[in-house]
Amino acid sequence: IVDVSVGGFLLAGRQMDSAGMIFQLELVLALNPEVSLSVGAECIWSDPQTSGLTFGGFHIIDISEQDNQKLHDIIDQIDH
């Protein structure tokens, strides 16, 4: 994950995802590996790079209230 907000995230990876694909993901954060978030996310856009990486923009479409609060707390920590 390159960037994250309460509504979505930017992902860089070697796998090419296509816009419209929907994923159920378990996100484990490098800042605090004990914290994980379970989210449903839709790939909104995908941009393959000459380096072999693909950047993709994902919109969070499903997250529990508890994980949503964790996400807000994490974003607050990053912003401060």
Predicted TM-score (pTM) above 0.85: no
Residue 28's pLDDT band (boundaries 50, 70, 90)?
confident
Span 50-76, average pLDDT: 93
**More confident call, 30 vs 43:** 43
- Region label for 33, one of left (φ > 0), alpha (ψ between -120 and 50) or beta (otherwise): alpha
DSSP track, 9-49? EEEEESS---TT-EEEEEEEETTEEEEEEEEEEEEEEEEE-
The average confidence (pLDDT) of the chain is: 89
Q: Is the pLDDT of residue 41 over 80?
A: yes
Q: Which of 10, 15, 73, 77 is nearest to 41 (CA)?
A: 10
pLDDT at 16: 75
pLDDT at 80: 63
